[in-house]
Structure 1
Amino acid sequence: MGYRFSRDDVTHLGSAAGRAALAEVDRLELTSATHLRDIERVRRLFGEQAAALIETVGLRRKAEVKLPAADEWLFTDDALQQATPALVAEHRAARLAGRAVHDVTCSIGAELAELAAVCPAVIGSDLDEVRLAMAAHNLGVAPSPRLGPVDRNILLARADALTPTTRDTVIIADPARRADGRRTYDPAKLQPPLPDLLSAYAGRDIAVKSAPGLDFDRLGWVGEIEIVSLDGAVREACLWSPGLSGPGVTRRATVLDSHGAATTFTDADPDDIPDRAPGDWIIDPDGAIVRAGLVRHYAAKHGLWQLDPQIAYLTGDTVPAGLRGFRIEDRLDLREKTLRRELARRDCGPLEILIRGINVDPDALRKKLKPRGTRPYTLVITRIGRAGTAFLCTAHAPTSPELDH
């Protein structure tokens, strides 16, 4: 759960004395090996403020990858875990550029920071006074006794997400995904419950951040569902109301990387692909494309086709720029004895095993195959029709990243 911050903690940490104390604590290693020694030193120097200082420095270090510009921010542990990575928040903000936006679950302000750069008016609200105080610190806004912290184009206020408090704004929400201390994928168990949230803002333009594994069929969402990945890892889903999505779009996959490349596919794109035998290469699409159900659309854009209509692996005669591919060296029967013999014959050492559509434990299989050679290979195991099959491949690293806004 982490340290439980108070409003007094936030006030002190944001003061000149607090900033100096944080700088002093940040000089310590704060590792498991130095834990006791570091705590003793901080307690000796800063007394009852020690826990808040140590927690803040630790959270800032954790935040470096997700929020690289937030090195002087304040966080709670839960708020940092749920905070949107800066590049993902920047992508969402770009879709809302020029609109007035109200983030009704603003927490410590990660979304507001990106929205404020492109939107004329940004409102953030939350019921948690500590998180609101942290948001005010993080966004550099000054307190106003009547409206809450307000400065530039940002206003912060304490309000219940289920009680509409603004008009003519786009609503953004990020319900908490834990119930009874456990992660939940039930829309009704989110906080606030997703059905209640959507009912409260019926007829409004709204974007709701959610977990990619949420049961969208149970929700019955009629707008767009966007799945977003960053550097190859699926980060989130976002529900966009019909007024915020493109014509005819109900599914979107957005692939981002930390170098600034962004590629988007939607179900309004062409999805006509040939039915052919495997080509020279196998391509494993990004997880956002698979989760969004846009494998055929992705294949059509890149001149690829599927190994099997029910499996997400793609194949083709070339590897599109920016993509990782696996050159097919051989196609083998999915039998342990056959695989072991062929790997030994080819002097296989480092062995990557990729699996779709077949119930095989890759780690257990690797131990059974006992590759002891020197040459690296990738074994792609899948199903074509009803038959399991294995493709012995050599990996091809991506070339220049693709960029397609």
Structure 2
Amino acid sequence: MINLDEARYLISRTIDLCPETDPLRRAALLKEQHGSYGRAVAELLDARSKGKLPAEWFMDSDSAQQATPLEVARIRFERIRRILGDPLVHDVTCSIGTEGAACLAEGLRYVGSDLSLPRLVMARANVNAPFFQADALAPCTTADVIVADPARRAGGRRIKDPEQLLPPLSSLLGAYEQHLAVKCAPGLDFSDWGGLVSLVSVDGGVKEACLYTAGLAEGARREAVVIRGGGVDKLSDLMPSEDEMAAPHGKYLIDPDGAVVRAGLVRQFAVREGLWMLDERIAYLTGDRIPEGYSGFPILEQVPLKKLKSALAAHDPGSLEILVRGVDVDPDALRKKLRPRGSRPMAVVVTRIGTQGVALICEARRVGSSKNVLEE
């Protein structure tokens, strides 16, 4: 954690990369160059080295870890701009200013506040916007939209209960009458949220769940935003779905993006892409194509679990990706049992169909394109 004096020191000068990689020598060199501020410089350089934020930004370890990737934050403000036009946004937990940078990039008006003076100092250096000290639960502006990013860890552990957030979700709702957008961890239990829950992933990793009050929801309750290779795909529970979708496997197995799964939109995704399910209760899909921009596996054969080892050996498996869902199988233990020592990259998907555990032996993962047809 960087204190106020250290934050002021950091923003007052250009901090260059340290060429020394040995930790002890590096600490000694930074102390020689920066005196008692050497530790703060080391923390800044370590946080910058993660590459999550612009290289010239000022940050400490905790603020960098919790900061929203800019491409994710811009999704939030694009929604706000689309619905409200030109609102004033007040970010009541602004930290070092990442939400502010994204908000301004979308052409919206922005003010930020935080209790932490060191982070406000860094925010002012990072983003050209008004920043001031204030309690997140003490309304102090006439902004149209309130954005909040409550602390999501306690004692080093992730929080699942919204009431254990700092500040608690109910306290935020009670403090503000304006539109609210609350950034949360994707593992939060949001089953009781009455507005929209938007799950956002970047290149396969689910980054956040953003909770929007009803005025920002456009009638939806669940949304998945999938960011891949610079492109953005969106699904919501307003899209068509079907109840009965299970059938024997097609040419490919598709493991839907984590945002789609967590948002409960697997059926909507399947209907849109012309896919179906192996089992109504398991979030694997199958079909005769892999949706463009998503990944999947060409299926070679389906076998009972007890026959997997001998069936797989016939394919000369080398590097092996193992996916398990719906059955009690440890992937690491299974890998040791299968002992793949061949030359062919492959995948094994272990799942349940009905009451039976099965394994799908597949070729290696591939990405779908507009001309995704399995060669015969």
- Does TM, normalized by the shorter one, top 0.5? yes
Greater Cα shift, 168-177 or 284-293? 168-177
Q: 1:347 corresponds to which residue?
A: 316
Indicate conservation of the 8 Å contact 1:100/1:119, yes or no. Answer: no
Q: Paired residue for 2:7?
A: 10
- RMSD value over aligned CA atoms? 1.7
* TM-score normalised to structure 2 length: 0.93
SS of match in other structure, 1:116: helix
In structure 2, what is the equivalent of residue 293 of structure 1? 264
Tell me, yes or no, if the aligned pair for 1:99 and 1:119 is still in contact at 8 Å.
no
Alpha-carbon deviations, 1:250-294, whole Å to 9, x = none?
00000012x320000000000136443211111000000000000
Q: Distance in 2 between matches of 1:43 and 1:325?
A: 51
Of the candidates 21, 24, 27, which is equivalent to residue 36 of structure 1?
A: 24
2:364 is paired with a residue whose SS is strand
CA contact (8 A) 2:289 2:368 kept: no
Q: How does 1:3-402 map to 2 (within 5 A)?
A: 4-15=1-12, 18-19=13-14, 22-23=15-16, 26-29=17-20, 31=21, 34-62=22-50, 64=51, 66-67=52-53, 70-97=54-81, 98-139=86-127, 141=128, 154-201=129-176, 203-217=177-191, 220-247=192-219, 249-257=220-228, 259-272=229-242, 274-335=245-306, 338-400=307-369
SS at match of 1:198: helix
Q: CA deviation at 1:118?
A: 2.3
Displacement, 1:319? 1.7
1:101–1:122 Cα contact (<8 Å) kept: yes
In structure 1, stretches of 5+ residues that fail to align are 142-153
The 8 Å contact of residues 101 and 119 in structure 1, kept in 2 or not, is answered as no
Contact kept in structure 1, 2:245 and 2:280, CA below 8 Å: no
**Alignment CA distance shift 1:171-1:42 (3 Å):** same
Runs of 4+ in 1 over 3 A off after TM superposition: 399-402
C-alpha change, 1:266 and 1:254, in structure 2 (3 Å) is: same
Identity percentage of aligned residues: 47
Helix, strand or coil: the match of 2:360? strand
SS at structure 1 position matched to 2:29: helix
Say which SS state the counterpart of residue 372 (structure 1) adopts. coil
Q: CA deviation at 1:89?
A: 0.9
Contact 2:87-2:143 within 8 A present in 1 as well: no
CA–CA separation in structure 2 for the residues paired with 1:323 and 1:182:
32
1:311 aligned counterpart, secondary structure: coil
Do the aligned residues in 2 keep the contact of 1:208 with 1:240 (CA within 8 Å)?
yes
Quote the offset at 1:179 in angstroms: 2.1
Distance 1:186 1:222 in 2: 16
For the Cα contact (< 8 Å) 1:323–1:401, is it kept in 2?
no
Q: Structure 2: give runs of 5+ residues left out of the alignment.
A: 372-376
The worse-fitting range, judged by mean Cα deviation, of 124-133 and 341-350 is 341-350
TM value normalised by structure 1: 0.87
Separation in 1, partners of 2:2, 2:312:
56
The worse-fitting range, judged by mean Cα deviation, of 276-285 and 299-308 is 276-285
Count of residue correspondences: 366
1:170 maps to a residue whose letter is V
Which residue in 2 is equivalent to 1:145? none
SS of 2:140 mapped into structure 1? coil
Q: Is the 8 A contact 2:196 2:213 kept in 1?
A: yes
